[in-house]
Copies of this chain bind each other. A is one copy, B any other.
Amino acid sequence: MACRPIGYIRCRFAQPPGTPIQTIAAPKEIARLELLPAYSAGLRDVESFEYLILITHFHLCAQERLEVTPFLDVQSHGVFATRAPARPNRLGLSIVRLLRLDELTLHFAGTDRVDGTPVLDIKPYVPRFDVRDTQRIGWFAGRLEDLACARADDRMV
By a beta-carbon cutoff of 8 Å, the part of chain A in contact with chain B is: 1-4, 6, 22, 24, 39-46, 48-53, 55, 57, 59, 66-67, 77-83, 87-91, 93, 95, 118, 120-140, 144, 147
Contact = CB atoms under 8 A, between A and B. Distances in A.
Given A41-B66, A136-B50, A128 B80 contact: no
Given A1-B57, A91-B121, A136-B49, A42 B130 contact: no
A123 B1 contact: no
Nearest to A2: B2
Nearest to A84: B123
B80 A24 contact: no
Contacts of A46: 78, 80-81, 138
Contacts of A39: 66, 80, 88
A127 B122 contact: no
Contacts of A79: 42
A93 B53 contact: yes
Contacts of A136: 48-51
